[in-house]
Amino acid sequence: GDSVTQMEGPVTLSEEAFLTINCTYTATGYPSLFWYVQYPGEGLQLLLKATKADDKGSNKGFEATYRKETTSFHLEKGSVQVSDSAVYFCALSDGNSGYSTLTFGKGTMLLVSP
Amino acid sequence: DAGVIQSPRHEVTEMGQEVTLRCKPISGHDYLFWYRQTMMRGLELLIYFNNNVPIDDSGMPEDRFSAKMPNASFSTLKIQPSEPRDSAVYFCASSFRGTDTGELFFGEGSRLTVL
């Protein structure tokens, strides 16, 4: 079945540091890929997405590129802020069935200190 | 705009008691999902509905769990009897035309503690 593997956290960074959170996936066909973010005490919200190979999703300074050859969708940000502290989830949607559902990774906690 | 609304936000109960979690999806959304989040297992899909009809309940852990969607604006997740291992945060999410666009709208979750 489909699966998503993320690097384990927490990832601890100082403000303005460069961020990478690794995500790899296993899926049949050509999934769409997503990053969701969960701030403390809140539900998940969509951060960015990419629907085909070589697409780059971006939002709020975060970027991720859909790499079919390495089955990866790593999340990056050039300069993190304290307000970016949250849990980040990589997810895929295979879309091959009539009703596609999201498969989530286990999440990676990011802690940014001033 | 009102988002997905869940209640209660927090529930503490004793083992063996019945628990009912409630969800009001975003108006106009035709898919509704129930997820469970724990440290050990991450985010698990329990069940989802399309136009109020359950489509896939294979994630429901056992017969103690049941979910209903009597109309387009309301869904419940019931656990009877509850057990300590059911302690988790339960999220409801809704979307329009399934997850093909990838955007699920999540509620703030119901944190359940079973003593």
How would residue A113 be classed by pLDDT, with cut points 50, 70 and 90?
A: very high
pLDDT confidence of residue A68 = 93
Nearest to A100 among B4, B98, B109 (CB): B98
What's the average pLDDT block by block, 10 residues per block, for chain B (115 residues)?
A: 91 97 95 93 92 93 94 97 96 82 86 97
Percent of chain A residues past pLDDT 70, beyond the cut: 95
Nearest to A102 among B104, B107, B109 (CB): B104
**Rounded CA gap, B34 and B22, in Å?**
10
- CB contact at 8 A, B99 and A36: no
Do B45 and A102 count as a contact with CB atoms less than 8 A apart?
yes
pLDDT confidence of residue A30 = 81
Q: How far are the Cα atoms of A18, A46, A111, B60 from residue B12, in angstroms, in the given order?
A: 41, 30, 29, 21
Query: Tens digits of per-residue pLDDT, A17-38?
Result: 999 999 999 988 788 899 999 9
Chain A contact set for B33 (CB, 8 A) = 101
